Structure 1
């Protein structure tokens, strides 16, 4: 599958992060908008499969089709830029600043949210025949997801908030591994296989993905979910974003960078250098 060595694909990660920081506002927002929209459609697809078959694992197996599509098209998710953009700063690429990283994150967040919200409105219309009747089975399922993953956490107080944050960490550990997977191969089939596996895992285990939630929760509110906008922001979106940031950067970006770019010297090499110095 034209596999690239770790040192090669980690260098591609840094290059990609640098390119995203210097990308124009127009391109950044368009790419983020389309990523949010495509991932939202994939979430609808996965929930529909789950409702129709009664099998959650089948929905999880099929969900990564959206993730693969958006990355093959060169679009950007917030979870991905959380991992890639800081590497260009850490690697001290010329002209890269913390402000540039934060600008990229902010624009991608806005674009992802706008794309996901667009699909949420479109699907709410489809589920209710233009809000003329109660939502169908899939719409009802999405509404209940929003309740369980806001009020469900709130019912446990601080322990629920910790659980939510950790699920956000675990989610982007897997999703960012999928982002890296797109860079491991130069063939479409190799990219798809490498992306599919970790993304399927995150969805099957109900980890918290900030961009998927940008669709699920606004859609749930439109479909009569019994929770508020503040419940969504405080008891899901904000902690999920923070968890996604920690998971992607700490467990994927920094670990790969530290061992495949800033590699440590082996004891044998250190000993040889000392002998040569003597």
Structure 2
């Protein structure tokens, strides 16, 4: 299995961030749209398997297939560009500006939301036979997820908001580690394994991912979940986006850049001793002083 050393990995991360900032609007939106669609289709798959088997762990084990597919195809998630784009700005790449970073984030957000919303509509049709019947068991479960992850936080007030934010931080710590994992290896099996582990962890732990939630909550609303769009925005999406930004950039991007991209000075070495002369005294005594 090929392996990319951390020092070379950071260079690849900065290069990727620079490329994304200068990517055309069309390509940025298309890649983000497909990333949102593939990831959320995998989320629907994972929830379906969890409901059908009665084991949430099964869903967590299977969910990473969507993440792996989208990164192998070169698509972009908001949680990934939260890490990559700022590194190019931090590295002072020519032409990279803060405005360019924000432009990239905004376009990827729109593309991800469009892809996630498309899958939400399509899967809602599947779960209700074209809205002609009540939601099936998976549809009911999705509605309850939306309620629990909005009204459930709201019941705890500020403590609930803090918990939501921290779950967003922890989520993108793991997801951005998966993004980095896609560059750790050069072969497909190595990339898949490196991405699988942190993505499985975040899903199994129930952390908050802004793009996955772009599917879960619109789907929940279409399937009769007892919460509102404002509940979704205030008590999930906005705090989750902020948490994802802080978690990915702080615990993955900046740490890797600081220790592998801008390493500290090496430990100093002792200056070589000057060979003793007759004027310095006996040779054995001089050696003892050097030791």
TM-score range relative to shorter protein? over 0.9
Residue 268 of structure 2 aligns to a residue whose secondary structure is helix
Q: Which runs of 5+ in 1 are unaligned?
A: 273-278
1:203-245 Cα deviation digits (max 9, x unpaired): 0000000000000000000000000000000000000000000
TM-score normalised per structure 2:
0.92
Which position in structure 1 is the counterpart of 2:50?
Answer: 50
Cα distance in 1 for residues equivalent to 2:66 and 2:139: 19
Q: Which runs of 5+ in 2 are unaligned?
A: 273-291
1:208 partnered with 2:200: no
Which position in structure 1 is the counterpart of 2:103?
Answer: 103
Shift in Å at residue 10 of structure 1?
A: 1.0
**Residues 270/25 of structure 1: CA separation in 2 closer, same or farther (3 Å cut):** farther
**Residues 264/54 of structure 1: CA separation in 2 closer, same or farther (3 Å cut):** same
**Residues 269/126 of structure 1: CA separation in 2 closer, same or farther (3 Å cut):** farther
Which position in structure 1 is the counterpart of 2:279?
Answer: none
Shift in Å at residue 269 of structure 1?
A: 5.3
Which position in structure 1 is the counterpart of 2:250?
Answer: 250
**Mapping for residues 1-278 of structure 1, pairs under 5 Å:** 1-268=1-268
Cα distance in 2 for residues equivalent to 1:176 and 1:125: 32
Cα distance in 1 for residues equivalent to 2:156 and 2:201: 25
Cα distance in 1 for residues equivalent to 2:245 and 2:270: 35
Shift in Å at residue 54 of structure 1?
A: 0.3
